[in-house]
Amino acid sequence: YVLFGLMLGGAVIYWFSGASMQAVSTGAYRAVNYIKEHIKLDTNKAASIEDSKSVVKICTIYAQKGMLNIFIVIFSFACFDANLFASYLISIAIFGLYQALYMANAGGAWDNAKKVVEVDLHEKGSALHDAAVVGDTVGDPYKDTSSVALNPIIKFTTLFGLLAVEMAVAAPRCISLGLGIVFFLIGLVFVWRSFYR
């Protein structure tokens, strides 16, 4: 149970990193479509405050949908076994720390690489600049969204997970195991949706 909990914690961190990146990409795509349809960028007039709020709302909705996934998974693992969940919490903290550091640094490196190509090398419009823009497109959600979101995920997992495991231990074993299976199946649906819907 302890080894399995350690593997689950690492897997959830990497899945959540990917799911949050996907949520950001989807939100940005929908926001760009909204801008194309509702805001005239070819005029000198700036976008209205209402239009700006609509764009921010679109991005926020998709970011929140991406964050909902993790809470279902928390309750499923808490219901199975207390030892499994304790090692899961330890693993989430360790993997989450190093994953957040990696994503923040890698995203910053990609962002800085684009600036070097544009400012120092004066290669704007070249194939090198195109490659730097692609790297920065990945780097921005890395450093601005996914890495930053891992800290609250670790905190919320610990807080709500400890409450959930306490309730699971107090409940009859058949009920807690049944709830764990139901939450796990719901979590698998969210995993599938986070990448394919």
Q: What pLDDT digit, counting tens, does each position of 54-112 carry?
A: 777 877 777 676 666 666 777 788 888 889 999 999 999 999 999 999 999 999 999 89
Of 12 and 196, the structure prediction assigns the larger pLDDT to 12
Helix (H) or strand (E) holding 88, with range, is helix 82-115
pLDDT average, residue stretch 113-118: 92
Distance CA 130, CA 133 (A): 5
**36: confidence class by pLDDT, cuts 50, 70, 90:** confident
Which has the closest alpha carbon to 20: 196, 151, 195?
195
* pLDDT score recorded for residue 120: 92
Q: Which residue has the tokens 């890698």?
A: 106
Residues with Cβ within 8 Å of residue 99, at least 6 apart in sequence: 13, 14, 17, 147, 150
* pLDDT score recorded for residue 144: 84
Residue 17 has pLDDT above 80, yes or no: yes
Highest mean pLDDT among 6-20, 53-67, 88-102, 177-191: 88-102
State the chain's mean pLDDT as an integer.
84
**26: confidence class by pLDDT, cuts 50, 70, 90:** confident
CB 117 within 8 A of CB 123: yes
Q: How many residues does the chain have?
A: 197
